[in-house]
Amino acid sequence: MLTLAQIRAASAKRLEGLHPIVRRATEELISRSFAAGVPIVIVQGLRSIEYQNELYAQGRTAPGAIVTNAKGGYSFHNFGLAIDFALLMPNGKGISWDTYRNGDNDGRRDWMEVVMIGKSLGFEWGGDFKTIMDMPHLQMTFGLTTAQLRAGAKPPIPITEEDQPMTKEEKQEFEVLRKKVEEQSQSLDVLMLKVKDLESRIPAPRWFVKEFGEGVVEKMSDPSGTLDFWRSLAVSLRVQGYKSK
């Protein structure tokens, strides 16, 4: 029988380069799916512009079936905000794309069990797309479009105490943000304002307070933000396993 450590190792390489929140959520997706009796493997993570263009050419100017409508720079994979998964077979080597498989014999489709876990962590599912259904695809957009990302917009980067060492990429991102705050001689609130959209701010939504309690909001020096800000904060707290006291 496969162990969680083996399953994590099978996906470790493809988690490199993912946005920190997406990476943590993906790690949690792997763990929760395993606990539900459905081992998975991440088959795609950060994708280069060149490789994206190769995929786009497939079924158009290159042999094969069409697998994507996104050219290079037009996929959230190109910015480390998306993953593709597959079901991992008991031998730890084979994978399955069978969306109707029920390997743990619990009366539920394994694929949809993973999808529901992903959605609970804040992922959007490619199976809900209206143009081309992408069943293995999960993404977090943080309210941004690929056009905004190409123009240089950045998703929020949480600065919190981690229960495990930061990766090299996370340390570099943290250091850049820390220096910006020092140069401006302002508080951490300035950093939080930088990750909010320029939309009008609102108090904590009822669903946020219901899930995480009023204590989280009361500790904030500025208890307001855009809806995308509250969603991103909720995803970060879920990934950290935060429970309302």
Domain span at residue 149 reads 4-163
> 159 and 194 share a domain?
no
Is the pLDDT confidence value at 187 over 90? no
pLDDT of residue 159: 60
Section 212-235 average pLDDT = 83
pLDDT of residue 104: 94
> 219 and 121 share a domain?
no
Least confident range of 109-113, 195-199, 213-217 = 195-199
Does 245 fall in a domain? Answer: no
From 122, 140, 163, give the residue that closes a domain.
Answer: 163
> 145 and 173 share a domain?
no
Does 19 fall in a domain? Answer: yes
Is the pLDDT confidence value at 198 over 70? no
pLDDT of residue 105: 94
Write down the mean pLDDT value for the chain. 87
From 120, 144, 163, give the residue that closes a domain.
Answer: 163
Cα dist. 86→35, 206, 225 in Å?
16, 35, 36
Section 14-29 average pLDDT = 97
Tell me how crowded residue 69 is: count the other CB atoms within 10 A of its CB: 12
> 205 and 131 share a domain?
no
> 149 and 213 share a domain?
no
Nearest to 144 by CA among 76, 47, 224: 76
CATH code at 82?
3.30.1380.10
pLDDT in tens, 117-129: 999 999 999 999 9
What residue has token string 């079924």?
A: 59
> 175 and 119 share a domain?
no
- Our count of domains for the chain comes to 2
| % of residues, the chain, pLDDT over 70 | 88
CB environment 139-155: b (16+ within 10 A), e (fewer):
bbbbbbebeebeeeeeb
From 136, 163, 190, give the residue that closes a domain.
Answer: 163
Q: pLDDT confidence of 194, banded at 50, 70, 90?
A: low
